[in-house]
Chains A and B, each alone.
Chain A
Amino acid sequence: LAKTTQPISMDSYEGQEVNITCSHNNIATNDYITWYQQFPSQGPRFIIQGYKTKVTNEVASLFIPADRKSSTLSLPRVSLSDTAVYYCLVGEGGATNKLIFGTGTLLAVQP
């Protein structure tokens, strides 16, 4: 079972870069790593996905080391609107159609 572990919460200020790390020691060979953002009373929204090394899109970067046992979501220059819960998701290796989320990280951005 590819479980994920994230910090429960993080604080930041507007304009700073925020890095949220997720541990997934039992990641399977075919699993991808996907990060989501969730605001209250809304469904999680896809941010970025990767398999190895580095992936970058218009909103974030994802860093994955060679052993793939962790990943880091990097949010450049956060704003107040980035206050949300961020989830790391890894495909479950044993029965590959399960998708089990970790506890998530509550990011609080202050002015």
Chain B
Amino acid sequence: SQTIHQWPATLVQPVGSPLSLECTVEGTSNPNLYWYRQAAGRGLQLLFYSVGIGQISSEVPQNLSASRPQDRQFILSSKKLLLSDSGFYLCAWSLSAGRGGPVFGPGTRLTVT
């Protein structure tokens, strides 16, 4: 069966520090991968999605970036965090958009101080 992992579960970082969040999927090949962010009390904002290794589409201009160095690995990064980057970051995978819906990981709670 498929499993999605995210780490760390929680993270507290000072403003201006770098960020690296990792997501891996097991039990499937060539998944579509997604990064979402959820601010406190808000809905799910799509940040990036990827249909294959090295293929990244960005939805929202910001100081975040994403990379997909391996088929089942998706990394969210920032060179310098802002206070507004605080939130709940969720990685998800799907076999194809419009069918099967994405399956979400446990999420990372990021607090920028």
Residues of A within 8 A of B (CB): 28, 30-32, 34, 36, 41-46, 49, 87, 89-93, 95-104
Q: Interface size class for chain B?
A: 20 to 34
Pick from A28, A30, A43, A103: contact of B107, CB below 8 A. A43
7 contacts between A and B (CB under 8 A): A43-B105, A43-B107, A98-B46, A99-B46, A99-B97, A101-B44, A101-B46
Inter-chain contacts of B36 with A (CB < 8 A): 101
B32 at interface by CB-CB < 8 Å: yes
B17 at interface by CB-CB < 8 Å: no
Q: Give the number of residue pairs across the A-B interface with Cβ within 8 Å.
A: 74
Q: How far is the CB of B30 from the nearest CB of chain A, in Å?
A: 12
Closest A residue to B33 by beta carbon equals: A97
**0/1 per residue, B27-63, Cβ < 8 Å to A?**
0000010101000000110100101000001010000
Closest A residue to B51 by beta carbon equals: A97
Inter-chain contacts of A49 with B (CB < 8 A): 100-101
Residues of B within 8 A of A (CB): 32, 34, 36, 43-44, 46, 49, 51, 57, 59, 88, 90, 92, 94, 96-107, 109
Inter-chain contacts of B104 with A (CB < 8 A): 43-45
Inter-chain contacts of A91 with B (CB < 8 A): 97-99
Extra contacts, 6 of them, besides A41-B88, A92-B97, A97-B97 (Cβ < 8 A), are A49-B101, A89-B101, A89-B102, A96-B96, A97-B32, A101-B46
